[in-house]
Amino acid sequence: MSTEENNSQIATETLAVGEARIPRLGFGTYGMSGSGLQKILVSALQAGFRHIDTAQMYQNEADVGEAMRKSGVARNDIFVTTKIWVANYPTSRFMASVDESLRHLQSDYIDLLLVHWPRGGVGIDEQIEGLNKAVDAGKVRHIGVSNFNADMLRTALKLSKHPIVTNQVEYHPFLDQTVLVREVNARNTSLMAYCGMAVGRVFGDPALTEIAQRNGRTIAQIVLRWLIQQPNVVALSRTEKAERIPDNTRIFDFELSNVDMEAIGKLHQPNSRIVNPPHLAPAWD
């Protein structure tokens, strides 16, 4: 597959959730900012990425906005996910924080707005009310949640006037997310996976190494493919090295066998959760 064909496939491979069309592969920006982030995002967009994930808490929305402007890619062709921080959940602050995110992003709309954590602010009902008001105001096209357990997700779906199109959570081969995966499959929503490489742990795993070698792929490609090959999963990749971007995008020109999918799905182990702030996190499934 040529570079142009691969870029086109990245741009068009989406997951339909109601009226939302979420690009299956996104570029995560946690822990990056400034000119370095702008440069890597421009490279990612020019390599075919069309989904960028950011958050108010990352303090890099302005860099994302500047990178989109510099990339030459039309704003309508880019899907931007950002997240409201818990301190901004109260009704008195919610919409003002959305407006601030829009200014930083140099955009008059957000494609997908999430609440970042279920705890640490107001109740779920007020969080969902804020998300719905942002849609009603024409500032946000789609809404979702992040780091919700299955019961909280059910509550959010029940409370929301507009569809909850995703739950963004940690998901990698070592973390068993069977309960949440089953939940999103049953409720016409999606799971957006962050921390897919388990902070580098995947690169030392013998089973993943063997699967990668047998398929003629990198371990990162195998893990990303495993994620998006699941019916309702979107994968966020992340790199600070531009030379790795082409490899991370080459996940649409092959499929893993059922045997490989099942083998990776059996790698989960207890105590493998990486992101778990006690004052923000729910009781995990």
Q: How far apart are CA 112 and CA 106, in angstroms?
A: 15
What pLDDT, in 10s, does the model give residues 146-197? 999 999 999 999 999 999 999 999 999 999 999 999 999 999 999 999 999 9
Task: Residue 275: count other Cβ atoms within 10 Å of its Cβ.
Answer: 15
Domain ranges of the chain: 3-265
Phi (first) and psi of residue 249, to 5 degrees: -85, -15
Average pLDDT, the chain: 96
pLDDT band at 240 (very low <50, low <70, confident <90, very high): very high
pLDDT band at 10 (very low <50, low <70, confident <90, very high): low
**Stretch 124-140: mean pLDDT:** 98
> Residue 122 pLDDT more than 70?
yes
Under the banding of pLDDT at 50, 70 and 90, the label for residue 120 is: confident
* Residue that the structure tokens 């096209």 belong to: 141
Is residue 58 part of the annotated active site? The answer reads yes
Residue 1 in this model has a pLDDT that exceeds 80 = no
Kindly report the three-state secondary structure assignment for every residue of the chain.
Answer: CCHHHHHHHHHHCEEEECCEEEECEEEECCCCCHHHHHHHHHHHHHCCCCEEECCHHHCCHHHHHHHHHHHCCCHHHCEEEEEECHHHCCHHHHHHHHHHHHHHHCCCCEEEEEECCCCCCCCHHHHHHHHHHHHHCCCEEEEEEECCCHHHHHHHHHHCCCCEEEEEEECCCCCCCHHHHHHHHHCCCCEEEECCCHHHHHHHCHHHHHHHHHHCCCHHHHHHHHHHCCCCEEEEECCCCHHHHHHHHCCCCCCCCHHHHHHHHCCCCCCCCCCCCCCCCCCCC
Predicted pLDDT of residue 11: 58
Question: What are the tens digits of pLDDT across the range 158-167?
Answer: 999 999 999 9
Q: What percent of the chain has pLDDT over 90?
A: 95
pLDDT band for position 121 (cuts 50, 70, 90): confident
Average pLDDT over residues 49-73: 98
Average pLDDT over residues 22-41: 97
Res 165: pLDDT: 98
- Residue ranges for the known binding site for substrate are 116
Query: In this predicted structure, what is the pLDDT of residue 12?
Result: 67
- pLDDT at residue 230 tops 90: yes
Q: What pLDDT is recorded for position 135?
A: 98
CATH class of the 3-265 domain in this structure? alpha beta
Instruction: Indicate which residue of 58, 89, 171, 194 is catalytic.
Output: 58
Residue 2: pLDDT above 90? no
Residue 185: predicted pLDDT: 97
> What integer is the mean pLDDT of 38-50?
96
Amino acid 7: pLDDT: 67
